[in-house]
Amino acid sequence: MKLSWSDVTPQWMYLNRRAFMAGSAAALALGGQAQAQALTARPSPLSTDEAPNSFEEITNYNNFYEFGTGKDDPARNAAALTTDPWSVEITGLVERPGRYGVEDLAPENALEERIYRLRCVEAWLMVVPWIGVPLASVLNRAGLRPSAKYVEFETLLRPEEMPGQRRPILDWPYREGLRIDEAMHPLTILATGLYGQAMPNQNGAPIRLVVPWKYGFKSIKSIVRINLREDQPMNTWQQMQPGEYGFYANVNPQVDHPRWSQATHRRIGAGLFAGREPTLMFNGYADQVASLYAGMDLRVNY
């Protein structure tokens, strides 16, 4: 049986390990609405047995450009985001299109804990105890038509609450996509929480994608639309810099980002002199996912 985060780190310890940064939005969120929603999830054999990063690290080191480009901007700015009411519109090549509530997509009794490695394209790594449901269960509920070959996701567009969207640094709203076999893979989840509670705003509340063998930017946050289509969608980063970011974005130590190496990464929380770790093919999930890409040239399909 796999360990749950609470077996690895008792709650009093991760809460007290370090004093929370004064005034951080994470602390605000904890004291406010988010705390009320404790989530229970059953452990999963797909979890890693590596120790997860602390709640403080996971909620204060985020790439969520909708709230600013600094790593601590989301923690500072995301508290204002309204996540209730929320609905996710499922459109395109499905039998039952429509608006679904977060509870419908990820009902409490279906929640699983998935402790996954998260490898950012910027060459750092964290381990996060996500809570969520397989994306496959959501897509099956909507009913895939045979012609559905790709899934496209879209983040909320609400510049009033997302200050980063007031500047055109990316083509808002943020969009991402997966091939249907990637979307249906058991490792791919829609997460609605972490560390036993509802998703903190800065981590992509109320519902986000997690694809652990791909660079973090594929795991789109605060999803409002899931669209099934026949042709390959364009994702935001690929549109911005097609030479640097592709559609697949599989973690691959042999294929470098044009501006930096992907051979190694730093583990967040490892300390000042921990140095770098070698990056693993498909972020360590090669056994489960390498077959999806058999015969493909991953240098071309980066």
Partner 1 sequence: MIRDLNDRLRRVPVPLVWVLGTIPFALLVFDAATNNLGVDPVQTIEHRLGRTAFYLLVAGLAVTPLLRLTGVSLMRFRRAIGVLCFGYAAAHVLSWAVIDMGLLWGQMGRDIVKRPYLLFGMLSFVAIFALGVTSNNLSLRRMGARAWRNLHRLVYPAAVLAGMHWLWAVKVNEMAPLVWTSLIVALLVLRVAIPRTRGRSA
- The residues of the shown chain that bind partner 1, judged by CB under 8 A, are 18, 21, 56-57, 60-61, 65, 69, 71-72, 122, 124, 169-170, 240, 256, 259-261, 263-264, 266, 268-269, 272-276
DSSP 199: P
Specify the residue, 160 or 256, whose C-beta has the smaller distance to partner 1.
Answer: 256
Which three-class secondary structure string do you get for 227-269? EEECCCCCCHHHHHCCCCCCCCCECCCCCCECCECCCEEEECC
Specify the residue, 21 or 157, whose C-beta has the smaller distance to partner 1.
Answer: 21
Burial 250-266 (b: 16+ CB within 10 A, else e): bbbbebebeeeebeebe
Q: How far is the CB of 183 from partner 1 (least distance, A)?
A: 26
Specify the residue, 76 or 185, whose C-beta has the smaller distance to partner 1.
Answer: 76
Q: How far is the CB of 73 from partner 1 (least distance, A)?
A: 11
Q: How far is the CB of 268 from partner 1 (least distance, A)?
A: 6
d(CA 51, CA 195): 12
Q: How far is the CB of 227 from partner 1 (least distance, A)?
A: 25
Specify the residue, 141 or 266, whose C-beta has the smaller distance to partner 1.
Answer: 266
Specify the residue, 293 or 302, whose C-beta has the smaller distance to partner 1.
Answer: 302
d(CA 238, CA 176): 9
Q: Per-residue DSSP letters for 74-86?
A: HHHHGGG---SS-
Q: How far is the CB of 276 from partner 1 (least distance, A)?
A: 5
* Backbone Cα Rg of the chain: 18
Structure tokens at 110: 């279906």
Beta strand 189-194 with 277-278 is unpaired
